[in-house]
A and B are shown apart, each in its own frame.
Chain A
Amino acid sequence: MTDLAAISRELRRDVVEMVYRTRDGHPSPSFSAADIITALYFSILTIDPARPDWDDRDRFVLSKGHACPILYAALAKRGFFDRQELFTLRYLNSHLQGHPYAPKTRGLDATTGSLGNGLSIALGMAFSAVIRKKDYRVYVVVGDGELGEGMIWEAAMASAHHRMGRLTVFVDNNNYQSGGTVEKVSGPYPIDEKFRAFGWHVQSIDGHDIGQILTAAGEARKVEDRPSAIVCKTVKGNGVSFMVGENSWHKRVFTDDEYRDAIQQLGGKP
């Protein structure tokens, strides 16, 4: 079996490399979602890099669009485009916008960036599958901070009302948003109980244990009469010691020393 943990470390290294070389981007929000994205792109999603527009593919929506460096790294590793393109991130004429823009990036299913919007887009994709009698499923990663957006709960209510069993949401519960801890800034807890109250099937897992992520996704597939929320306890900056607990890494560029240190901690050679 593919060593997903190794892939996840490799994708994190690509994120470090991207942010270091292009001097911009959101590293630590990428790392909290890294294992979820890895599990999705290297196990859960039914996709075909040779046919990015294949109509029967599963869809993925990164609602917390600022974490796109990790998604871009996954798309490149999966073969949607050349890895060298990663190092054009946020540059003029790049296929890789600062926040995800589907028409430009091969393999990207949804345009996102402003928070709170991804769940509605995913719900629309799921409705399309129902109406067109397709079997694909739709997966979303939302941040815990963006649960403050009312639109998330509009979509949560509608998804449960329409018994959208093919919709699965991973909540990247890294406990931080731009301005500090979510407890301090916006108070989203208890997240699991909120989704449950909205009529969702809810699981709570360790978002850095890929085995747990795969098992939870498997459980979610069995639930046909409700959408599924998988609340993933994660760590912002997970994988690099000096990024953990230091929220300035929400958006920060690595110095030469930090770059070398991060790459080494992630098992690479700077």
Chain B
Amino acid sequence: MSEVSSTRIGFRDGLLRLAEERKDVVFISTDSLLVVKGEPFLDRFPDRVIELGISEQNGVGVAGGLASSGLVPYICTYAGFLTMRACEQMRTFVSYPNLKVRFIGANGGLHGGNREGVSHQFIEDVGILRGMPNFTILCPADGGQVFEAMLASADIDGPVYIRIGSGREERVFPDGTPFPLGKIRVMADHGDDVALFAHGFVLNRVLEAARELRKAGIGAKVVEVATVKPLDRDGVAGILRATGSAVTIEDHTVINGLGSAVAEVIAEEVPARLVRLGLQDVYGESGFPDELLDAYGMSVRDIVAAAGKATAAGKR
């Protein structure tokens, strides 16, 4: 399980594939080409790279102009420089007119930002975008899944956000595994005691926690929710009906992300006990990725304990 994949390369290779197939695909760099090792794209498609320098607001504005005149721009840089620095441009000039722009946000979560510290660790990106109509928000688990998510989302007629990391992620799925756009995916099913909903670079931990829980006699379902928006509400509700209790695990603040999305389904459709793991309304700090996830409440032990807490409240 320690084999390294790279979400950044997954993006780049997905973009190469799309550009080979589609004449309208262009890449906007805000001095971020090297961040995703984009030289092969520049070599192959020099006329389809727009380098704008360090200017994310301008980059998103340019993307809006391109998308309104016949092209499909992919803009990739650090997640917060898009979703926070250029937040209003994403909202008013892309999401509102529902333009076909693809945003790829790097350094998602503590895992993604790791030693860079808080300015480069983005724990709010999903929550910010969840409030914007028209957005599709994807949080693939590893490099191969980013590649597949790029292909799967290519025809979405509106803005898409794909969360990627630092480029050193553990492999979760064998390469070539399709990305389940718009649907939850049950990755392990050890029983109906508790559902573990998660996405992204914490999934191997969640799978391990589920195995630990099985040893302790608690049957967990591991459910990947890689499409945070639009949420597969029916899928989530179905799982909740079976388990009656749930834990969400996300490398993101627990406010407005996956935990909140699942809580909305619980509140509106299927009453259940919920424990949300993730950043508990705090910022992170510099550190190694796995250390950070452990330190901020996303260790295997934390997941096991949360599942125990969720199930202890009893099934309905």
Contacts and interface: CB of A to CB of B under 8 A. Distances in A.
Mostly, the B contact residues are helix
Contacts of B73: 124
B62 interface: yes
Contacts of A127: 26, 50, 62, 65-66
Contacts of B69: 55, 59, 124-125, 128-129
Interface stretch (A1-9, A113-121, A184-192, A214-222): A113-121
A155 B88 CA distance: 16
B66 A158 contact: no
Interface in B32-80: 47-48, 50, 52-53, 55, 57-71, 73
Given A101-B96, A114-B88, A157-B53, A120 B65 contact: yes
A114 B68 contact: no
A125 B66 contact: yes
Given A131-B47, A131-B48, A132-B70, A151 B62 contact: no
A123 B53 contact: no
B66 A128 contact: yes
Nearest to A118: B61
| Most chain B beta carbons < 10 A, residue from A113, A128, A129, A158 | A128
B97 interface: yes
Given A111-B92, A117-B93, A124 B53 contact: no
B256 interface: no
B153 interface: no
B286 interface: no
A131 B98 CA distance: 22
Contact of B71 (A113, A131, A155): A131
Interface residues of A, number: 34
B61 A151 contact: yes
Given A103-B97, A114-B92, A117-B92, A123 B57 contact: no
A121 B61 contact: yes
A183 interface: no
A154 interface: yes
Interface in B9-46: 26
Contact of A128 (B52, B61, B70, B93): B70
Contact of A109 (B68, B71, B92): B68
A154 to B, nearest CB: 4
A45 interface: no
| Most chain B beta carbons < 10 A, residue from A55, A101, A119, A132 | A132
Contacts of A154: 52, 55, 57-58
B121 interface: no
A24 B71 CA distance: 36
Given A59-B69, A117-B61, A131 B26 contact: yes
A112 B92 CA distance: 8
B253 interface: no
Given A101-B97, A131-B48, A158-B52, A123 B68 contact: no
A124 B64 contact: yes
B68 A121 contact: yes
Contact of B65 (A103, A114, A121): A121
Contact of A110 (B52, B55, B57, B65): B65
A161 B96 CA distance: 29
B89 interface: yes
Interface in A155-189: 155, 157-158, 161-162
Contacts of B60: 120
Given A124-B69, A125-B68, A158 B55 contact: yes
Contacts of B58: 120, 123, 151, 154-155, 158
Interface of B: 26, 47-48, 50, 52-53, 55, 57-71, 73, 88-89, 92-93, 96-98
Given A110-B65, A155-B58, 15 more contacts: A61-B65, A112-B93, A114-B88, A117-B92, A120-B61, A120-B64, A121-B62, A121-B64, A121-B65, A123-B62, A123-B65, A126-B65, A131-B71, A154-B57, A158-B58
